[in-house]
Amino acid sequence: MPIHSPWLIVVWCLAAYLLGSLATAIFVSRALRLPDPRRAGSNNPGATNVLRLGGKKAAALTLLGDLLKGLLPVLAARLVGFPAWGFALVALATFLGHLYPLYFRFRGGKGVATTLGILLALSPYLGLASLAVWLLVFAASRVSSLAALVATLSTPIFAWFLLPQESLRLLVIVLALWVLWRHRSNIRRLLGGKEAALRKS
């Protein structure tokens, strides 16, 4: 039976925001004694920058942590019986926590991995479709930001066919637009032919 208690949903959203505020890239970098990703490389606390600063292990840990931040609170909200609009709000709260973390002066990442976790919680098929696009574009270009942008643009199209609830389709559009906005500097570099590719190793 769906849970419609507004107070419970508000509390869950607050907890999701606080969880999203745990900046995995910063914790991983501190644990492995790497440079602060907010002040080195691209100055973005995300898996791609951590990869450049500390290698594949650090990047994998960052990616996993950011993905789980999106996956777990939304999946739990679904399992306890929140309505679609309820776990859509939970998803938005954890996403905003990642982008604007309370514990780190509201300077967070760009939201790609956390969005993937949210998509997997909403629909495994949706998440896997978005991931497949990212992998294909990255394999062809070796440019992480380009892969993220193409995957982000394709996700609302997939959501139209895979998510029956209007509130969840709207959520995916909002997330996609926000991720695109966070990548505006990458878009400028891509248009200018200045975006760096990741080297094979």
- What is residue 115's predicted lDDT score, i.e. its pLDDT? 97
Q: Are 128 and 52 in contact (CB under 8 A)?
A: no
Distance CA 181, CA 179 (A): 5
SS3 label, residue 8: helix
Going by C-alpha positions, the residue among 152, 151, 144, 160 that lies closest to residue 198 is: 144
Cα 79 from chain centroid (whole Å): 21
Tens of pLDDT, residues 20-71: 999 999 999 999 999 988 898 888 888 888 988 988 999 999 999 999 999 9
Distance CA 199, CA 201 (A): 6
pTM: 0.93
What residue segments make up the domains of the chain, in order of their start?
Answer: 6-191
| Torsion, CA 130, CA 133, CA 135, CA 141, rounded to 10 | -140
* Res 200 pLDDT > 60: no
Tens of pLDDT, residues 83-112: 999 989 999 999 999 999 998 888 898 999
SS3 label, residue 93: helix
How far CA 41 is from CA of 51, 53, 66, 74, 195, in Å, comes to: 10, 7, 19, 31, 13
3 falls in which pLDDT band (50, 70, 90)?
low
